[in-house]
């Protein structure tokens, strides 16, 4: 499966074209819109989210609520475009009084993008570099999770750290954990930590600052054998890390114990193998469900680090690219913290990568063929 996405943050809208999705999968627009709604939520978002109510318009690849096996096109309109029609006009002349941006924000794509693409007005960079594009990625993930649902695979995420606040008191049961995270404005299942996290966001807002953090994505129900050790680019851990690192503001990805594994002896890292008469199982999951780039039947567990958003209302020093004078960086309207939203993006990105690996494993022409192949494969697995 693959996709191409397009769209500027304040342009007319965003689009994504998906290729390689199987036919005959029942899909619901409500499920996609619900994921888009979840992505817009979270404590610390800025004014823009009050303007937008994202919903998807599908213009190809689905008929009578089922996929056709042909490219699926999804569009998400930018409601804010009505306030930007002149400044973001597709054709026509630049308005004489257009306010251009020359002072790149440290941490943003502004400086490198302006130099790479020979833009004077940094808006030409930031419009596409914007995390607004994650709306289309979430729409793709929302389709993917409907495919995964057919095979009993569930993808969830929750916030585990925000700035220096660490969630400690988390329910052991995954359903309880997710229910608590879903009920939290910062998507954190630890009530005490949640309150401190909200206080950190308020502190950032008061100081013209921003905060990031870490979220954890958990995939439940993955069969053993997705991905492959045979070629570097087929390793599922690398594909997951690459997809997650491609999300705006993501700076780190750990699978299972991640960096902690490097600090321990092997005997305290690897997960002993047992068999309960019907399946192989592990007494621990330090590997995070992936060994050799292949799923091992345990939950896939990924932790993802997001840096604080780079637009600061109290800006850092920068350089005016026109005059080369030292000036403060540009202030663009932005969020103070988008970590809860990023965790929803992460969920959907992971759903996409797992669905891609599943279609590879089972053959992705139609849902019926995938199901037959799945049943046969699971039978084979149970005989091993
Ligand atoms: C973003 C800046 C803000 C965010 C935006 C990402 O937008 P604006 O400048 O219009 O206020 O709200 O995220 C979204 C619009 C979104 O839907 O996630 C940025 O500069 O990356």
Note the pLDDT tens digit of each residue in 160-177: 999 999 999 999 999 999
Please report which confidence band the pLDDT of residue 305 belongs to, taking 50, 70 and 90 as the band edges: very high
What is the atom index within ligand 1 of the atom nearest the CA of 332? 9
Q: Distance from the CA of 136 to the center of ligand 1, in angstroms?
A: 14
48 lines ligand 1 (CB under 6 A): yes
Is the pLDDT score of 364 beyond 90? no
Atom 3 in ligand 1: which residue has the minimum CA distance?
A: 334
151 has which bridge partners?
Answer: none
For residue 333, say whether it is annotated as part of any ligand binding site. yes
In testing the pocket of ligand 1, which one of 37, 308, 334 has its CB within 8 Å of the most ligand atoms?
334
What is the atom index within ligand 1 of the atom nearest the CA of 45? 12
240 lines ligand 1 (CB under 6 A): no
In testing the pocket of ligand 1, which one of 46, 210, 248, 345 has its CB within 8 Å of the most ligand atoms?
46
Is the pLDDT score of 145 beyond 90? yes
Please report which confidence band the pLDDT of residue 347 belongs to, taking 50, 70 and 90 as the band edges: very high
- What topology is assigned to 2-383 in CATH? Chorismate synthase, AroC fold (3.60.150)
Percentage of residues of the chain with pLDDT beyond 70: 100
Secondary structure letter of residue 10 according to DSSP = T
In testing the pocket of ligand 1, which one of 5, 7, 9, 249 has its CB within 8 Å of the most ligand atoms?
9
DSSP 3-state assignment of 182?
Answer: helix
Secondary structure letter of residue 268 according to DSSP = G
ipTM metric: 0.93
For residue 292, say whether it is annotated as part of any ligand binding site. yes
Is the pLDDT score of 23 beyond 90? yes
**pLDDT value, residue 333:** 86
Task: In whole angstroms, give the CA distance from residue 380 to residue 377.
Answer: 5
Contact 318/110 with Cβ under 8 angstroms? no
333 lines ligand 1 (CB under 6 A): yes
Note the pLDDT tens digit of each residue in 126-142: 999 999 999 999 999 99
Atom 7 in ligand 1: which residue has the minimum CA distance?
A: 334
**pLDDT value, residue 284:** 97
Atom 5 in ligand 1: which residue has the minimum CA distance?
A: 132
What would the mean pLDDT of 211-232 be, rounded to a whole number?
98
**pLDDT value, residue 105:** 97
For residue 39, say whether it is annotated as part of any ligand binding site. yes
Note the pLDDT tens digit of each residue in 43-98: 999 898 999 999 999 999 999 999 999 999 999 999 999 999 999 999 999 999 99
**pLDDT value, residue 296:** 97
What would the mean pLDDT of 286-308 be, rounded to a whole number?
98
Please report which confidence band the pLDDT of residue 184 belongs to, taking 50, 70 and 90 as the band edges: very high
For residue 249, say whether it is annotated as part of any ligand binding site. yes
135 lines ligand 1 (CB under 6 A): yes
Closest CA to 156 of 145, 146, 143, 165: 145
What average pLDDT does the chain have?
A: 97
Task: In whole angstroms, give the CA distance from residue 316 to residue 324.
Answer: 16
Is the pLDDT score of 16 beyond 90? yes
Q: Distance from the CA of 47 to the center of ligand 1, in angstroms?
A: 9
pTM assigned to the model? 0.97
For residue 65, say whether it is annotated as part of any ligand binding site. no
Closest CA to 192 of 211, 169, 171, 175: 169
Task: In whole angstroms, give the CA distance from residue 271 to residue 95.
Answer: 63
132 lines ligand 1 (CB under 6 A): yes
**pLDDT value, residue 340:** 98
In the structure encoding, which two tokens stand for residue 363, read together?
Answer: 């053959």
What would the mean pLDDT of 174-195 be, rounded to a whole number?
97
What would the mean pLDDT of 314-322 be, rounded to a whole number?
97
**pLDDT value, residue 71:** 98
What is the atom index within ligand 1 of the atom nearest the CA of 341? 18
What is the atom index within ligand 1 of the atom nearest the CA of 10? 10
Atom 16 in ligand 1: which residue has the minimum CA distance?
A: 132
**pLDDT value, residue 127:** 98
Q: What are the sequence ranges of the domains in the chain?
A: 2-383
What would the mean pLDDT of 108-126 be, rounded to a whole number?
98
């Amino acid at each position: 499966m693959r996709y191409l996405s397009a769209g500027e943050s304040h342009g007319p809208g965003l689009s994504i074209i998906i290729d390689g999705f199987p036919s005959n999968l029942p899909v619901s627009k409500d499920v996609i819109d619900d994921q888009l709604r979840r992505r817009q939520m979270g404590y610390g978002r800025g004014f823009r989210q009050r303007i937008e109510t994202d919903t998807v318009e599908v213009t190809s690849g689905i008929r009578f609520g089922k996929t056709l096996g042909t490219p699926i096109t999804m569009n998400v309109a930018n409601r804010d475009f009505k306030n930007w029609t002149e400044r973001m006009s597709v054709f026509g002349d630049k308005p004489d009084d257009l306010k251009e941006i020359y002072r790149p924000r440290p941490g943003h794509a502004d400086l490198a993008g302006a130099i790479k693409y020979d833009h004077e007005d940094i808006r030409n960079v930031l419009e596409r570099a914007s995390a607004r594009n994650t709306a289309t990625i979430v729409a793709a993930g929302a389709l993917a999770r409907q495919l995964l649902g057919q095979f009993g695979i569930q993808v969830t995420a929750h916030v585990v750290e925000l700035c220096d606040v660490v969630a400690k008191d988390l329910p052991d049961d995954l359903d309880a954990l997710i229910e608590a995270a879903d009920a939290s404005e910062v998507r954190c299942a630890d009530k005490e930590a949640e309150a401190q996290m909200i206080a950190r966001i308020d502190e950032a807002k008061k100081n013209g600052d921003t905060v990031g953090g870490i979220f954890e994505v958990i995939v439940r129900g993955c069969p053993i054998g997705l991905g492959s050790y045979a070629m570097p680019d087929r390793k599922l851990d690398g594909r997951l890390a690459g997809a997650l690192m491609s999300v705006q503001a993501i700076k780190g990805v750990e699978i299972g114990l991640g960096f902690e594994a490097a600090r321990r002896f092997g005997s305290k890292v690897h997960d002993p193998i047992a068999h309960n008469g019907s399946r192989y199982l592990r007494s621990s999951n330090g590997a995070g469900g992936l060994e050799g780039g292949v799923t091992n039947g345990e939950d896939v567990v990924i932790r993802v680090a997001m840096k604080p958003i780079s637009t600061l209302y109290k800006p850092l020093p920068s350089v005016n690219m026109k005059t080369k004078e030292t000036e403060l960086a540009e202030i663009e309207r932005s969020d103070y913290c988008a970590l809860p939203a990023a965790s929803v993006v992460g969920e959907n990105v992971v759903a996409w990568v797992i669905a891609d690996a599943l279609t590879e494993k089972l053959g992705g022409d139609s849902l019926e063929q995938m199901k037959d192949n799945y049943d046969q494969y699971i039978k084979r697995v149970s005989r091993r």
